[in-house]
Amino acid sequence: MTTPHPPLRRRDALRLFSLPAVSAACAASSLSAPAAWAQTQQTATRKLPRIVSVSGATTEIVYALDAEKQLVGTDTTSLFPEAALQTPKVGYMRQLSAEGLLSLKPDAVIGTTEAGPTVVMDQVRNAGVKVELVEADHSWAEVQRKVAAVGRATSRVAQAAALQAKLDAQWAEVLAAVARKGGRRSRAIFILSHSASPQAAGEHTAAHAVLSYAGLDNALAGPGKPHSFSGYRPMTAESLVTAAPDLIVTTTQGITASGGLEKFWSRPGLELTPAYPRRALVALDALYLIGFGPRLPQAVAELHQAALKVSA
């Protein structure tokens, strides 16, 4: 026969129920400052915003801020670093769909004003997702705005400020190095040949801005140039001959799409340019060169140095 337990007195019950709370309080008070900080950080990490980046540049910045664990999706221009290739893709940044973006349940979508269509971005906003699109004006301020936007979206504002200070120092150093070169600016044209119909860059393009930053004169843009224009236009033999560039700048992807260097140089009109006899050409990765991301200082410095060598 089992002997029944005596009834639990109220004060004993209160004592028993208070033990876990007291133990937890004691454990918390016994944590060292670093341990308590680490515990807070672990909690914060679980609550960090889920991010979809629809710009190769903003994706790079996410990785530069060590916030890649917050990335739940990227667009097809997000090709660097290599780990970004493994992220779920939502399509090309100019041809996004609300369904694709919302299916990843993001807290925020970040990119530039080149992302769209506009109606899709409005639908995402109306669904309660924060959308932050940085104005793309091909300036250093654009890079600064991207860093700040990613810092806000990922809840890493302090880290973003530290990164920006580092990038600003690099940028100032590069501009000073270009300015020290002085002398005549080489005439260059930028050819975008990722498809069967190559295009040349005029004013108000990322390529035009990069040429200028690197100390080069865009032969297809500016006052007094007969074929000056804005944006991109199909490259014609006539415009190439008139522009008379000393240097051709393009992308490594464009060389590949053309079928190699020899095929690239075989395009009509190029053989009549001053650049042709010396095969004066600089080809760099597209995102690196004209993506206006955190590697822009290195890209401008590399273009400047390469242009000096091939133009010598």
Are 166 and 241 in the same domain? Answer: no
- Least confident piece of the model among 37-51, 79-93, 197-211, 238-252: 37-51
The answer as to whether 44 is a domain residue is no
283 shares its domain with 231: yes
| 252 CB neighbour count, 10 Å cutoff | 13
Is residue 55 located within the same domain as residue 167?
yes
The predicted structure's pLDDT at residue 36: 43
Same domain, 219 and 165: no
Number of domains, the chain: 2
Q: In what order do the strands lie in the sheet with 130-134?
A: 71-74, 51-53, 108-112, 130-134
Q: Indicate if the pLDDT at residue 270 is higher than 80.
A: yes
156 and 63: one domain? yes
Inside any domain, residue 117: yes
Gap between the Cα atoms of 40 and 168, Å rounded: 32
CATH number for the domain spanning 224: value is 3.40.50.1980
Of 142, 175, 208, the residue at which a domain comes to its end is: 175
- On whether residue 160 sits in a domain, the answer given is yes
**286 lies in which domain range?**
183-311
Shared domain for 243 and 275, answered yes or no, is yes
Residue 5 placed within a domain: no
* Residue 1 within any structural domain of the chain: no
Q: Is residue 258 part of a domain?
A: yes
Alpha-carbon dihedral angle through residues 39, 44, 50, 56, given to the nearest 10 degrees: -90
Gap between the Cα atoms of 163 and 49, Å rounded = 20
Give the span between the Cα atoms of 132 and 111, in whole angstroms: 7
Is 2 contained in some domain? no
- Which phi and psi (to 5°) does residue 231 adopt? 75, -155
pLDDT at 125 over 60: yes
Work out the percent of the chain whose per-residue pLDDT is above 70: 85
Q: What confidence tens digit (pLDDT) does each residue in 211-252 have?
A: 999 999 999 987 777 677 889 999 889 989 999 999 999 999
* Any domain includes 15: no
Please give the model's pTM, rounded to 2 decimal places: 0.83
Which of 122, 145, 175 is the last residue in one of the domains?
175
Least confident segment among 178-187, 219-228, 235-244, 266-275: 219-228
DSSP state of 69: G
The predicted pLDDT at position 22 comes to 34
d(CA 61, CA 146): 8
Do 155 and 274 share a domain, yes or no?
no
- 209 plus 307 within the same structural domain: yes
* Same-domain check for residues 151 and 216: no
Last residue of a domain, one of 116, 144, 175: 175
Reported confidence tier of residue 307, pLDDT bands at 50, 70, 90 = very high
Clarify whether residues 253 and 202 are in a common domain.
Answer: yes
